[in-house]
Amino acid sequence: MSAWLMAAFLRGLDAGETVALTRAMLESGKILRLPSVTRPKVDKHSTGGVGDKISLCLGPLVAACGAAVPMIAGRGLGHTGGTLDKLEAIPGYDVHLSASRFEKVVREVGVAIIGQTAELAPADRRIYALRDVTGTVACIPLIVASILSKKLAEGIDALVLDVKTGAGAFMRDEAQARELARTMVDLGTDAGLTTVALLTDMSTPLGLTVGNALEVRESVEVLAGGGPSDIIELTVALAREMLAAAGQPDADVEAALADGRAMDVWRRMVAAQGGDPDAPLPVAEHTEVVTAERDGVMESMDAMGIAVAAWRLGAGRARKEDPVDFAAGIELHAKPGDAVMAGQPVLTLHTSEPAKFERAHEALAGAITWAAEGTAPSPRRPIVIDRIA
């Protein structure tokens, strides 16, 4: 298999070969049917980013609008955060549900977010471990087969993809990200799954937090009707796509955020998966504030630099089996386009081990740039760059 993966990496796979690989991986295990879930079933997949807590807001919001969201999510690896790690920062939250309990939660609550089970696409898990050690991760056909084999195993009717591009994305180059989105949309559609992709910007972290417990707090703010504008914008855009794909294009997404329905679903989901929605989240024992050295307007904030710093503080992992510090991470007090004064807080670093501050600062060197005095910063490109269907 290692030799075959290297051949696929070097020579590529055509569309027929990618379909065959996806189907073989899908059929290597169990396919969920969720027969008792009568609502249209739709999921979303993100290719991973920095501060990307969208799933936490999105799943309950789409469920509050009438669709079912059976979501199988992943853990963070390297600089990207994982939805499961964020949820496990909530005391008691169980991401390891049996297939029958998963179906029950989706039926009764409208949404459940769990990890990949041993029964779903087991070939993908084995192959991914080999891709990691053979240096064949960055291969579009292999990425497509990995993602779609797991999503097709969920028994969903529709899938919306959030394909990120920019400094903090897995696919930094926009042309490559666009190719990945196009390939996944075509393959998902050919498999009988309504599939749409949004190409989105990941040059700057999403929201104002990076790190597991910090991002859960921010997600709850959004579900309560507040939170950062970029998180709200992307959550609403993806929710509209999911609901349209599920046959509910007229759902009032903004109203479900504003009137508390999405928050109600969040609380029910957390409780149904063993968590306490009212329990205090982990808080770091040590913090350090980074201040602006001079007056100015922030020109850019490199998502990769912020991500690596958060990772070094303990928020991420280098290997799949490594533990994470749920309380570690970074708060952002300013974003590109904001004017700040000398001495004003720009970042707050959180960790349980103060010895980690030094290496985090090394990662932050050059991560923030400032506009020249008297000039306005370059306009930021939109969060949603394109829609691919």
- For 89-123, how does the pLDDT look when each residue is reduced to its tens digit (9 = 90+)? 999 999 999 999 999 999 999 999 999 888 889 99
Q: What is the DSSP letter of 352?
A: S
- The H helix count followed by the E strand count for the chain is 14, 13
C-alpha 72/C-alpha 141 separation (Å) is: 21
pLDDT band at 77 (very low <50, low <70, confident <90, very high): low
Q: Greater confidence, 372 or 214?
A: 214
Backbone φ/ψ region at 67: left (φ over 0), alpha (ψ -120 to 50), beta: beta
**Reported confidence tier of residue 380, pLDDT bands at 50, 70, 90:** confident
What is the structure's pLDDT at 353? 95
State yes or no: pLDDT of 29 exceeds 80.
yes
CA distance 163 to 181: 6
Confidence class for position 62, pLDDT limits 50, 70, 90: very high
Mean pLDDT, all residues of the chain: 93
The mean-pLDDT minimum among 53-62, 65-74, 80-89 falls in: 80-89
- pLDDT, average across residues 42-59: 95
What is the torsion angle, in degrees rounded to the nearest 10, for the CA atoms of residue 139, residue 141, residue 147 and residue 148? 180
What is the strand order of the sheet 158-165 is part of? 42-46, 158-165, 194-201, 384-388
Is 78 a residue whose pLDDT tops 70? no
Catalytically active residues are 45, 124, 131, 146, 150
Q: Which domains does the chain have, with CATH numbers?
A: 2-272 (3.40.1030.10), 286-370 (3.90.1170.30)
Rounded Cα distance between 97 and 51, Å, is 26
pLDDT in tens, 152-176: 998 899 999 999 999 999 888 999 9
For residue 50, is pLDDT > 70? yes
Q: How confident is the model at residue 355 (pLDDT cuts 50, 70, 90)?
A: very high
The mean pLDDT of 272-276, rounded to a whole number, is 98
Q: How many CB atoms are closer than 10 A to CB 135?
A: 11
Per DSSP, 353 falls in state -
Residue 137 makes CB contacts below 8 A (sequence gap 6+) with: 131, 143
Strand 339-340, strand 286-291: pairing:
unpaired
Residue 174 burial by CB count (10 A; 0-12/13-18/19+): exposed, middle or buried?
middle
Read off the amino acid at residue 326: F
Residue 95: helix, strand or coil by DSSP? coil
- Amino acid at position 211, single letter: G
Question: Does the pLDDT of residue 214 top 80, yes or no?
Answer: yes
The conformational region for residue 228 under phi > 0 = left, psi -120 to 50 = alpha, else beta, is beta
Q: Is 375's pLDDT higher than 90?
A: no
**Tell me, what's the pLDDT at 135?**
87
pLDDT of residue 76: 75
Q: What is the mean pLDDT of residues 20-46?
A: 95
**Whole-prediction pTM:** 0.94
pLDDT tens sequence across 242-264: 999 999 999 999 999 999 999 99
Helix (H) or strand (E) holding 329: strand 329-332
Tokens of 73: 């999510």
What is residue 75's predicted lDDT score, i.e. its pLDDT? Answer: 82
Residues linked to residue 42 through DSSP beta bridges, in sequence order = 158
Q: Identify whether the C-beta of residue 19 lies closer than 8 Å to the C-beta of residue 190.
A: yes
Number of C-beta neighbours around residue 103 at 10 A? 20
Q: Residue 88 — very low, low, confident or very high, per pLDDT cuts 50/70/90?
A: very high
At residue 115, φ and ψ (nearest 5 deg) are -90, 165
378: pLDDT confidence band, cut at 50, 70 and 90? confident
The answer to which of 54-58, 132-136, 345-349 has the lowest mean pLDDT is: 132-136
Find out whether 335 and 281 touch, Cβ atoms under 8 Å: no
Q: Tell me: the pLDDT tens digits for 174-189? A: 999 999 999 999 999 9
